[in-house]
């Protein structure tokens, strides 16, 4: 299995910590951040192959974080996570700079397939 | 008031009420979605561990207990959210009823907590234990108070505080909502939804502005002739 490093950004710690553990069992090295500020701090020090970013976060919202991530690392693919009925889903249009988006609740295998696709798109 | 202005007001009402209802239910549904996502992933983790246990990873009873506790925590969180949503939905059952504004506003603040968290703002509620019951429209009161909370949230910075308090002052049921001030005094457009709600509640509104903090004081009528009735 090809391996890659992922950063997950979501303010629901029970969710991201479980996802990180489950990804680990599948050979994917993942870390998490609970808000945009922490994510950007981690990205100052480490490189990731793909970032999974919830659009609704406390403080800085997902779109603002996305722009700052792209300033730090223009080539890293970013997958956005959004809820049912959100403007992103309604418009069926991903924001500029995002690789794609997924709808919560996320199926793990779908997430892995999408992350792998994003990593190989670079 | 002329018939024309009545018509204009009636045209305005559905939008503001739907906007209020939409803002509340969107926030609640997002939070419920998170609860379901966590339970879904925790269930997946359990399946992973069961599968792994047949090979190399040992699943201890402590680990199992921790996972069960996580599911229980999220189930209770989900039930609390649903209970609050249910109480909110039933507040629109009667246009005029006897109710405790303290209970209604405590529920509203709990529902609005996520909106405040998104802005990293502290939202607190206080009520005297023996606060007065009133007769009126609880849904309209929530909408009016929500418009004030929303106005504060629109200008709030990280770590600001918004406080909602229900008390009896000079024998009158009173609600005080305080929060950060805009750079200049509140404009009519900032508080348009508030003024309309106050008029319909038959209440009085007093806005105290200073550069650091603003206070909206709503005095509810003791025995209101609610104009919606």
HSE, CB side, 13 Å, CA atoms: give it for residue A106: 25
Region B11-22: mean pLDDT is 72
B111 has pLDDT over 90? yes
Least CB-CB distance to A58: which of B42, B74, B120? B120
- Among B83-92, B115-124, B219-228, the minimum mean pLDDT is found in B219-228
Region B101-122: mean pLDDT is 96
Q: Tell me which residue range forms the domain holding A93.
A: 5-120
- Among A56-60, B12-16, B20-24, B37-41, the minimum mean pLDDT is found in B12-16
B11 has pLDDT over 70? no
Mark yes or no for CB contact B36/A105 under 8 Å.
Answer: yes
Region B98-114: mean pLDDT is 96
Least CB-CB distance to A58: which of B26, B74, B118? B118
Angle at B6 between CA B143 and CA B9, to 5 degrees: 35
A89 has pLDDT over 60? no
B75 Cα to chain A: minimum distance (Å): 13
Region B42-62: mean pLDDT is 82
A99 Cα to chain B: minimum distance (Å): 22
Q: Cis (ω within 30 of 0) for the bond into A59?
A: no
B16 has pLDDT over 70? yes
Q: How confident is the model at residue B226 (pLDDT cuts 50, 70, 90)?
A: very low
For residue B176, the model assigns a pLDDT of: 97
- Among A15-24, A75-84, B77-86, the minimum mean pLDDT is found in A75-84
B14 has pLDDT over 60? no
Q: Domain spanning B3-90 has what CATH number?
A: 1.10.287
H helices of chain A, in order, are 13-25, 36-45, 62-72, 87-91, 108-120
**Measured between alpha carbons, how far is A106 from B6 in angstroms, rounded to an integer?**
48
Hey, which residues 7-36 in chain A have their CB within 8 Å of chain B? 12, 14-15, 18-19, 21-22, 25
B49 has pLDDT over 80? yes
Other beta carbons within 10 angstroms of residue B54's beta carbon come to: 7
DSSP at A121? T
**Measured between alpha carbons, how far is B83 from B135 in angstroms, rounded to an integer?**
23
Evaluate whether A40 touches A72 at the Cβ level (below 8 Å): yes
**Measured between alpha carbons, how far is B108 from B88 in angstroms, rounded to an integer?**
7
User: Where residue A28 sits, what CATH number does that domain have?
Assistant: 3.40.50.2300
- 3-state DSSP assignment of residue A80: strand
B7: CB partners within 8 A, 6+ apart? none
Hey, which residues 81-110 in chain A have their CB within 8 Å of chain B? 83-85, 104-106, 108
Q: How confident is the model at residue B129 (pLDDT cuts 50, 70, 90)?
A: confident
Mark yes or no for CB contact B120/A57 under 8 Å.
Answer: no
State percent of chain A over pLDDT 90. Answer: 75
B227 has pLDDT over 60? no
Q: SS3 for chain B, per residue? A: CCHHHHHHHHHHHHHHHHHHHHHHHHHHHHHHHHHHHHHHHHHHHHHHHHHHHCCCCCCCHHHHHHHHHHHHHHHHHHHHHHHHHHHHHHCCCCCCEEECHHHHHHHHHHHHHHHHHHCCCEEEEEECCCCCCEEECHHHHHHHHHHHHHHHHHHCCCCCEEEEEEEEECCEEEEEEEEECCCCCCCCCCCHHHHHHHHHHCCEEEEEECCCEEEEEEECCCCCCCCCC
For residue B196, the model assigns a pLDDT of: 87
Q: How confident is the model at residue B6 (pLDDT cuts 50, 70, 90)?
A: very low
- Torsion angle in degrees (nearest 10) through CA of A89, A95, A100, A105: -40
B59 has pLDDT over 90? no
HSE, CB side, 13 Å, CA atoms: give it for residue A2: 11
Mark yes or no for CB contact B119/A58 under 8 Å.
Answer: yes
A110 has pLDDT over 90? yes
Task: Considering the domain delimited by B98-219, tell me its CATH architecture.
Answer: 2-Layer Sandwich (3.30)
Region B184-203: mean pLDDT is 88
Return the biggest CA–CA distance within chain B.
Answer: 80
Q: What is the pLDDT of residues B70-104, one digit of tens each?
A: 999 999 999 999 999 999 999 989 989 999 999 99
For residue A84, the model assigns a pLDDT of: 64
- Among A18-27, A69-78, A81-90, B52-61, the minimum mean pLDDT is found in A81-90
- Among A68-72, B9-13, B98-102, B141-145, the minimum mean pLDDT is found in B9-13
Q: Provide the number of structural domains found in chain A.
A: 1
B63 Cα to chain A: minimum distance (Å): 13
**Measured between alpha carbons, how far is B203 from B41 in angstroms, rounded to an integer?**
48
A84 to chain B: which residues are within 8 Å by CB? 29, 33
**Measured between alpha carbons, how far is A58 from B214 in angstroms, rounded to an integer?**
24
pTM above 0.90, yes or no: no
Lookup: tokens for A26: 């599948």
DSSP at A60? S
For residue B60, the model assigns a pLDDT of: 83
Domain ranges of chain B: 3-90, 98-219
For residue A93, the model assigns a pLDDT of: 63
Q: How confident is the model at residue B188 (pLDDT cuts 50, 70, 90)?
A: confident
Measured between alpha carbons, how far apart are the two ends of chain A, in Å?
18
**In chain A, which residue's Cα lies nearest the Cα of B70?**
A14
Angle at B175 between CA B211 and CA B156, to 5 degrees: 35
**Measured between alpha carbons, how far is B219 from B191 in angstroms, rounded to an integer?**
16
B30 to chain A: which residues are within 8 Å by CB? 56, 83
């Amino acid at each position: 299995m090809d391996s890659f490093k992922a950063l997950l950004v979501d303010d629901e710690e029970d969710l991201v910590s479980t996802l990180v553990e489950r990804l680990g069992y599948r050979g994917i090295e993942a870390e998490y951040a609970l808000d945009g500020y922490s994510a950007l701090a981690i990205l100052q020090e480490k490189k990731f192959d793909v970032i999974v970013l919830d659009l609704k976060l406390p403080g800085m919202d997902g779109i603002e974080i996305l722009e700052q991530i792209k300033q730090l690392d223009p080539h890293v693919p970013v997958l956005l996570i959004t809820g049912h009925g959100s403007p992103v889903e309604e418009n069926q249009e991903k924001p500029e700079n995002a690789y794609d988006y997924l709808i919560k609740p996320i199926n793990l295998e779908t997430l892995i397939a999408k992350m792998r696709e994003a990593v190989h798109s670079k | 008031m002329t018939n024309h202005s009545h018509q204009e007001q009636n045209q305005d009402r559905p939008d503001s009420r739907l906007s209020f209802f939409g803002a509340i239910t969107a926030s609640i549904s997002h939070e419920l979605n998170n609860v379901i996502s966590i339970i879904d992933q925790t269930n997946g983790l359990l399946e992973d561990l069961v599968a792994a246990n047949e090979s190399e990873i040992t699943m201890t009873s402590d680990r199992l207990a921790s996972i069960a506790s996580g599911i229980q925590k999220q189930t209770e969180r989900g039930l609390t959210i649903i209970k609050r949503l249910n109480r909110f939905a039933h507040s629109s059952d009667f246009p005029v009823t006897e109710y405790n504004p303290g209970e209604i506003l405590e529920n509203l603040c709990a529902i609005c907590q996520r909106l405040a968290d998104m802005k990293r703002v502290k939202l607190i509620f206080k009520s005297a234990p023996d606060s007065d019951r009133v007769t009126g429209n609880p849904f309209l009161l929530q909408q009016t108070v929500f418009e004030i909370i929303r106005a504060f949230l629109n200008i709030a910075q990280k770590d600001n505080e918004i406080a909602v308090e229900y008390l009896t002052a000079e024998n009158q049921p009173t609600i005080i909502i305080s929060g950060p001030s805009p750079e200049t005094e509140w404009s009519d457009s900032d508080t348009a939804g508030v003024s309309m709600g106050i008029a319909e509640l038959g209440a009085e509104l007093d806005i105290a502005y200073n550069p650091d903090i603003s206070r909206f004081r709503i005095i509810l009528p003791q025995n209101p002739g609610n104009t919606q009735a």
